[in-house]
Structure 1
Amino acid sequence: MENNDILIRLRYALDIKNQDMVEIFKLGGVEVTKDEVLKILTKSKDEYDDEVDVEESEDRIKCNDKMLESFLNGFITFKRGPQQPKPGQPKSQEPSRQSKDHVNNMLLKKLKVALQLKTEDMLDILDDGGIAVSKGELGAILRKADHRNYKECGDNFARKFLKGLTVSYRD
């Protein structure tokens, strides 16, 4: 699943307005305009059915991993407020994602923090999305990448979680 698709689904699920998207990106350290947000939220040609003839938009902005992580960091700040740095802690909120940590795992971890979800809440959301998961499986996905019980979160799992978010937050 592309990062642009993740942003599109997340925006729909949580009913985030365009101006809020600009503010969230800014809180995460990425300056974008409202027009650029609309270009990021444009679906790519391969997301449509083969029957529909859609021209590939040259203006479409591809969201990379760093940009997605910045958005998610900004979303945490947007929902929970700025965090005061502890003594001796660096001030910058620069994305720190290592290449071995999968994008979908990062998405679930950061949404859990931003929306202040407990494990049971996440299990309910996944159930709403149409997937039954045990507490242990979810714990394996939320672990650090170098942990021996770490499990990489697949696209289908992330898609079901975003679908469950839509059911939970839009109803």
Structure 2
Amino acid sequence: MNNNDILRRLRYTFEFGDSKMIAVFGLGNLKVTREQISDWLKKEEDASYKECSDLQMAIFLNGLIIEKRGKKKGSPPEPEDKLTNNIIFTKLKIALNLKAEDVLDIMDLAGFRISKHELSAFFRKPDNRHYRVCQDQILRNFLKGMQLKYRQKDREVSEKEDIYKGKKIDNKNDQGDARQVKNTSEVKPIKFKYKSVEEIQKNKEK
């Protein structure tokens, strides 16, 4: 999938404003500007559109993991230069502290069903014989399900539709579930380790 599209979907799902987006990149140790955020979120046909690189996307996802799960001791993991749908899927699963059953439930919200066995193949190492490439369709449906689960307005609409259909609503794993995500309403000041992607790449070469 296109990194810019994924970034737009995640911003929409979690209702992140520009300041929060900047803070999440900061948690991944990269300082970005409001203008950069704006250019990444624009449509491709816009003259100001800028491509979000794999490295920048990896930094954002690493920051999202810290934002949702809290910071661990030591430095954040080094961002990948090359991303795949499998890596993105895995990072989102970690960020939201999801078990296999949780992921399947989210996929089901999007009207897409796969088996637990099929799902586990996406999270294996590429050299594992059971590894399976995560196609765009899989990741796209997961992101759609995430939107229905975590975005307040869309979740309310989805629940009303389920009630109309006579389904029982289970809110135990909603956005407020402390097991899955921590409260993200407050953003603490960030000390940036890097001011550009170039600095990160130079550090990798050392």
- On whether the aligned pair clears a TM of 0.5, the verdict is yes
Q: Structure 1: which 5+ runs fail to align?
A: 46-55, 86-90
Q: Find the partner of 2:132 among 109, 129, 151.
A: 151
1:63, distance to aligned residue in structure 2 (A): 0.6
1:96 positional shift: 3.9
Q: Which amino acid aligns with 2:78?
A: E
1:93 corresponds to which residue? 77
TM-score (norm 2): 0.70
Q: Are 1:104 and 1:158, in contact at CA under 8 Å, matched by a contact in 2?
A: yes
| Matching residue's letter, 2:118 | E
Structure 2 gap ranges (5+): 156-206
- Structure 1's consecutive aligned runs of 4 or more residues displaced over 4 angstroms after TM superposition are none
Other-structure match for 1:132: 113
Structure whose alpha-carbon radius of gyration is higher:
2
Asked if 2 retains the 8 angstrom alpha-carbon contact of 1:29 and 1:94, the reply is no
Deviations 1:114-142 (A, max 9, x none): 11111111000011112101001110011
For residues 1-171 of structure 1, the aligned pairs below 5 Å read 1-45=1-45, 56-57=46-47, 59-85=48-74, 91=75, 93-96=77-80, 99=82, 103-170=84-151, 171=155
Following superposition, the deviation at residue 29 of structure 1 comes to: 2.2
Rounded to whole Å, the distance in 2 between the matches of 1:92 and 1:112 is 17
Which string of whole-angstrom CA distances, capped at 9 and with x for unpartnered residues, describes residues 89-108 of structure 1? xx4632146x5xx5211111
Contact 2:54 2:80 in 1 (8 A): no
- TM-score, normalised relative to structure 1: 0.83
Give RMSD over aligned pairs.
1.5
The number of residue pairs the alignment matches comes to 152
Deviations along 1:142-169, one digit per CA (max 9) or x if unpaired, are 1111111111111111111000001111
Query: What SS does the aligned partner of 2:30 have?
Result: coil
- 2:28 counterpart letter in structure 1: G
Amino acid at match of 1:42: K
Identity %: 43
Distance 1:96 1:43 in 2: 25
The whole-number CA distance in structure 1 between the counterparts of 2:84 and 2:12 is 19
